[in-house]
Amino acid sequence: MAQLILMPGKERSAFKRHPWLFAGSVGRLEGRARPGDTVEVLADNLRPLGRAAYSPKSQIRARFWTFDADESVDDGFFKRRVAAAVARRQVLPELRGQEGLRLIHAESDGLPGVIADQYGDTVVVQLTSAGADKWRKAIVAALVQATGCQRIYERSDSDVRGMEGLESATGWLLGEARDEPLSILENGVRLAVDVAGGHKTGFYLDQRDNRQLLGQLSAGKDVLNCFCYTGGFSLQALAGGANSVLSIDSSGPALVQARANLALNPQLPADRAHWQEADVFQALRDFRKDGKLFDVIVLDPPKFAPSASHADRAARAYKDINILGCRLLKPGGLLMTYSCSGGIGLELFQKIIAAAALDAGREARIVRRLAGAADHPVALNFSEGEYLKGLLVQVD
């Protein structure tokens, strides 16, 4: 096994169990290693630190598989890590029996570069790093063993694969497509999941709890759901007894799926749902001109800041939509506002929303802090990554 020897002082992040080693921390590679190969990581005094997947093309030069320098990274290793991730979720009561469930949340489950989402009897995997790609067979076999699922679809088409020098890879790894669409039941609402054509692995499972909360807030309310994608929030609002639900997305196909999802739920009052294909920034300005007001507004945009270097522009975009959101609320109205930008931490996000409320001329308070669901854990030592953060804000 090749050895990756760090620059002096650069072992500190490994002591804190941060799973990434940036190119600038690496002193030298002794021996030969191809992309994805496992290397031994040593401090510059040659103290062993663990084993990592080597990524020569990426600025994240290596990702630790293990901080135990004696642990072999082999089929058995992936079997243990995958089984542990699946078992971890069964401990949490709200996750038991969910038809849609994130099984592996990458670094936060000790498996950098590995995402796995279960939708019914199908598991969708996304492999985003050279190391994860190298071990695909072991990871898939471990998923089959841990879940009993015989249908595995790969959605390794995320942009970050490019940074690893990997091509995109999609298709059935086990089993094949069925005629009838795949769907999940989420808190009483049926939602179709297009694993091949949908965003990410097909659906945004991390918002499950927040969609349920919206349902609980919606009785008798006029709800505006911005960036609605396939209508997950919208349908929960209808199920919760909303007076009206207006949903906006710029994606035509997402709205087609959203309407189809509504049709999958004949128990919901379809006449209270309205869909609009538009740019949210423009639509909110138009509502303002028309003097439209809402009781509850959801703002769940795509990530505006993929990394810290985009934070300034992204902050401006978050502020703009949140100013508009605050202005469009009736007195006492609620804003459910989110960011999934890795480059924007919770503290900064709160400041942006505070500034937005101020500019909108509204007194506002946080009534609840919102996060991703429990199957999207965030490792304590790992604050990077596009974890979801949100605030429920009430305006006067």
Q: Concatenated DSSP letters for 207-263? A: GHHHHHHHHHH-TT-EEEEES-TTTHHHHHHHHTT-SEEEEEES-HHHHHHHHHHHH
Q: How far apart are CA 346 and CA 332, in angstroms?
A: 24
Which of 20, 67, 135, 227 is the binder for ligand SAH (CB under 6 A)?
A: 227
Under rule CB under 6 A, residue 258 binds ligand SAH: no
Which of 20, 229, 294, 387 is the binder for ligand SAH (CB under 6 A)?
A: 229
Closest contact distance (angstroms) between CB of 277 and ligand SAH is: 8
Closest to ligand SAH by CB, 104 vs 299, is 299
Closest to ligand SAH by CB, 30 vs 279, is 279
Query: Is 326 a catalytic site residue?
Result: no
Under rule CB under 6 A, residue 204 binds ligand SAH: yes
Rounded to 5 degrees, what angle do the CA atoms 308, 324, 270 make? 105
Pairing of strands 38-42, 3-6: parallel
Rounded to 5 degrees, what angle do the CA atoms 361, 364, 370 make? 135
Q: How far apart are CA 115 and CA 158, in angstroms?
A: 11
Residue 4 near residue 26, CB atoms below 8 Å:
yes
Closest contact distance (angstroms) between CB of 46 and ligand SAH is: 47
Closest to ligand SAH by CB, 81 vs 208, is 208
Q: Which of 226, 228, 326, 340 is catalytic?
A: 340
φ, ψ for residue 83, nearest 5 deg: -60, -40
How many Cβ atoms are within 10 Å of 251's Cβ, its own excluded? 15
Under rule CB under 6 A, residue 158 binds ligand SAH: no
Under rule CB under 6 A, residue 233 binds ligand SAH: yes
Under rule CB under 6 A, residue 251 binds ligand SAH: yes
Closest to ligand SAH by CB, 81 vs 327, is 327
Q: How far apart are CA 318 and CA 321, in angstroms?
A: 6
Which of 98, 207, 212, 261 is the binder for ligand SAH (CB under 6 A)?
A: 207
Closest contact distance (angstroms) between CB of 33 and ligand SAH is: 37
Binding letters toward ligand SAH, positions 263-302, x by CB under 6 A: ----------------xxx------------------xxx
Closest to ligand SAH by CB, 84 vs 160, is 160
Q: How far apart are CA 380 and CA 371, in angstroms?
A: 14
Which of 35, 202, 232, 240 is the binder for ligand SAH (CB under 6 A)?
A: 232
Under rule CB under 6 A, residue 78 binds ligand SAH: no
How many Cβ atoms are within 10 Å of 382's Cβ, its own excluded? 17
Bridge partners (DSSP) listed for residue 203: none
Residue 17 near residue 50, CB atoms below 8 Å:
no
Closest contact distance (angstroms) between CB of 299 and ligand SAH is: 9
Under rule CB under 6 A, residue 387 binds ligand SAH: no
Q: How far apart are CA 264 and CA 158, in angstroms?
A: 29
Three-state DSSP state, 200:
coil
Closest to ligand SAH by CB, 129 vs 265, is 265
Q: How is residue 202 written in tokens?
A: 């097909």
Under rule CB under 6 A, residue 250 binds ligand SAH: yes
Closest to ligand SAH by CB, 130 vs 193, is 193
Closest contact distance (angstroms) between CB of 319 and ligand SAH is: 15
- Residues annotated as part of the active site: 340
Residues engaged in binding ligand SAH (CB under 6 A) = 204, 207, 227-230, 232-233, 248-251, 254, 279-281, 300-302
